[in-house]
Amino acid sequence: MDWQGWFFDFEEAKAEARHRRKPVFAQFHREKCSGCKKMYAVTYPDANVQTELHDWFVPLRLDILKDRLIRARYNAVWTPSFYFLDYNGKMYDNLQGYLTPEDFRIVLRLGLAAYYIPRGMYQKAIDLLEQSVDQFPHNPRTPALLFKLGMAIYLSTWDNREFREIMSEIRQNYPDSPEARMWPWMED
């Protein structure tokens, strides 16, 4: 794995994120972590993963055993684990465990949307998520993309009609997903 473009120091990564106006993607790893080894062998070398990771984020690799203060800050206990942070180190999303290249690309999109939405960057989140749903229509994580899309649309308009349509689509096309069970209306 070529680690060019990755940071290994938390403060340096935050400073670069502030300078580049991008979120930080932090991965905790451990020397003998089989999921980490598979990430380095299979997922990170993928050309699409490389492009999206470096275009959208400041990537940071942390050792869960050596970077104890940072690990404690985020309650990190598992490797690999992934954290989406702003340049102040505020966490917006996280996930644990090995991810295939396609799943990782979806998680990058969910993390980026989680960074955009609280900043009121709804249109950026909507555009990203719509493209993502079109790109990955059959992935088990697609209902999560749709739910976050509905959330971004609702927060940008305060009109629940489109959110309701998206939730209906989730229930129809992904009935066994956790998101299908998140139907919030009483009448159904």
Sheet of 91-96: strand order equals: 58-63, 24-29, 81-85, 91-96
Regarding whether 158 and 88 lie in a shared domain, the answer is no
DSSP 113-156: HHHHGGGT-HHHHHHHHHHHHHH-TTSTTHHHHHHHHHHHHHHH
- The verdict on 68 and 148 lying in the same domain is no
Give me the half-sphere count of Cα atoms (radius 13 Å) on the Cβ side of residue 6.
Answer: 15
What is the rounded distance in angstroms from the CA atom of residue 84 to the CA atom of residue 118?
13
- Do 148 and 185 reside in the same domain of the chain? yes
pLDDT of residue 91: 97
pLDDT in tens, the chain (188 residues): 456 789 999 999 999 999 999 999 999 999 999 999 999 999 999 999 999 999 999 999 999 999 999 999 999 999 999 999 999 999 999 999 999 999 999 999 999 999 999 999 999 999 999 999 999 999 999 999 999 999 999 999 999 999 999 999 999 999 999 999 999 988 75
Q: How many domains does the chain have?
A: 2
CB atoms within 10 A of CB 115: 25
Residue 105 lies in a domain: no
Q: Determine, yes or no, domain membership for 112.
A: no
| Residue-level pLDDT at 188 | 58
Contact 28, 79 (CB under 8 A): yes
How deeply is 71 buried, as exposed, middle or buried, from its count of CB atoms within 10 A (0-12, 13-18, 19+)? middle
> 89 and 137, same structural domain?
no
Domain of residue 178 covers 120-188
> Is 111 within a domain?
no
- Tell me what pLDDT residue 1 has: 46
At 146 the pLDDT is 98
pLDDT at position 124 is 98
* CATH code of residue 23: 3.40.30.10
* One domain for residues 80 and 143: no
The confidence score (pLDDT) of residue 148 equals 98
- Residue 58 zone, left/alpha/beta (φ > 0; ψ -120 to 50; rest): beta
State whether 130 and 185 are in the same domain.
Answer: yes
Tokens 């976050």 — which residue? 148
